[in-house]
Amino acid sequence: MSVPNDLGLPGALPERDRLALRRWMLLSIVAVFFAVAVGGITRLTESGLSITEWKPVSGALPPSNDMAWAAEFTKFQQIPQASSTHAGISLSQFKWIYWWEWFHRNVARTVGLVFAIPWLLFMVQGRIPRQLRVRLTALPLLTLGQGALGWYMVQSGLVERISVSAYRLTAHLGLALGILAVSVWTYSELRERSLAEQSEPVATSRRWRRALLSATVLLGITVLSGGFVAGLRGGRIFNEFPLMGGQVVPPGYGTLTPWWSNAFENPAAAQFHHRLLAISVTLFVLTLAWRARSAPLPQRVQQAVFVFGAVITVQLLLGITTLLLAVPVPLGVLHQFTGVLALTAALVATQRAIASGDDTVSVARNAAAARPARVTVSPVEAATTG
């Protein structure tokens, strides 16, 4: 009987394949981080609407001469943002924002290749285990959908609006986080040793697993709420802390109807909710980190919880600083980047906790105990026993 590990894969999975898949996932994680950072710069520099057409293949090449640049500039001048946010923009200034969006789109194309090419090679070589085929096949498909969703987002700002829809922006961010979550979770699983080989004296209780999973979900919601703040330019109002306009609940909080639309379309309400969520999840995680000091947890889970607490603390401080300074581009990008880093730390901590759960470890140990013991026979004994 083979010994199951936290992936549900047989212990006989070749180490060479495990290492190759881990490297692919790590490269994918780095690629997503880079794409999120470049996307943040593109948004904060108001560059995202500078390319008004979607050409998945030919769009990889920039304008090649003055005539082509003039044509792109003319197309841009026809959208509402050109006469508002970028009123009076010159051709040289247009080129600067164009290059950011062009770079952003090519980074997205590269991310797609990072997912698609290794997946194709591993599938052809039969190196993706059956238990991971659906999950890893979803990654290149989701990345393709991310490109289409990105264009759907850009379209919302080309006709009647001077910026993209906050709903579509948040959906675009959410899909990126989903791709990242699959990659991080799979990498963390592949990095774990077989449960039967782990020497941890304790397992992670169900209560701790639920707590870490709840913290991860709450952090994900917090990051997505930041998408609405960004889409509504909510970070450029009420640049004070801890109050907003001298009040706990900001002026103009519930001015929209129906009432629920305030959370998604009212900048003041969006920022208020993001603040509450950020403070709540940080306090929750710091409480978990404090209790983890003396809790009966596997060492690798305890370490992951400490890292989670440290990163989310930095993220909260960055968020406050970014708000007080009215979202300068470098801090805004760093805040977004650190938010994704905090979510990564949360996923790793949660995966480790689930992989070392008391019920999971019990199953693995029982399976290990049920294996027949190996009997080593020397050449001399083999020769004398017929």
pLDDT at position 200 is 63
Predicted pLDDT of residue 96: 95
Give the closest residue to 70 by CA, choosing from 45, 92, 97: 92
- d(C-alpha 239, C-alpha 326), whole Å: 6
CA 225 – CA 2 distance, rounded (Å) = 45
Q: What is the pLDDT of residue 359?
A: 58
pLDDT at 373: 46
The span from the CA of 154 to the CA of 122, in Å, is 34
**Which segments of the chain does DSSP mark as H helices, in order?**
15-44, 66-76, 91-125, 133-155, 166-191, 206-231, 262-265, 267-292, 299-324, 329-355, 358-370, 379-384
Digitized pLDDT (tens) for each residue of the chain, 386 residues in all:
333 444 555 455 688 899 999 999 999 999 999 999 999 999 999 999 999 999 888 889 999 999 999 999 999 999 999 989 899 899 999 999 999 999 999 999 999 999 999 999 999 999 999 999 999 999 999 999 999 999 999 999 998 888 899 999 999 999 999 999 999 999 999 987 544 345 567 889 999 999 999 999 999 999 999 999 999 999 999 999 999 999 999 999 999 999 999 999 999 999 999 999 999 999 999 999 999 999 999 999 999 999 999 999 999 999 999 999 999 999 999 999 999 999 999 999 999 999 988 655 554 444 444 444 444 444 444 444 44
Please name which of 370, 312, 376, 382 lies closest in space to residue 342, comparing C-alpha atoms: 312
pLDDT at residue number 171:
96
Q: What is the 3-state secondary structure (H, E, C) of 120-182?
A: HHHHHHCCCCHHHHHHHHHHHHHHHHHHHHHHHHHHCCCCCCCCCCHHHHHHHHHHHHHHHHH
What's the pLDDT at 15?
86
How much is the pLDDT for 3?
Answer: 37
pTM: 0.87
**β-strand partners of 204:** 357
Sign of the C-alpha dihedral, residues 279, 281, 287, 290? Answer: negative
d(C-alpha 322, C-alpha 133), whole Å? 41
- Give the pLDDT score at 199: 58
Q: Which pLDDT belongs to residue 300?
A: 93
Handedness of CA 197, 203, 207, 212 (dihedral sign): negative
* Pair 208, 26: CB distance under 8 Å: no
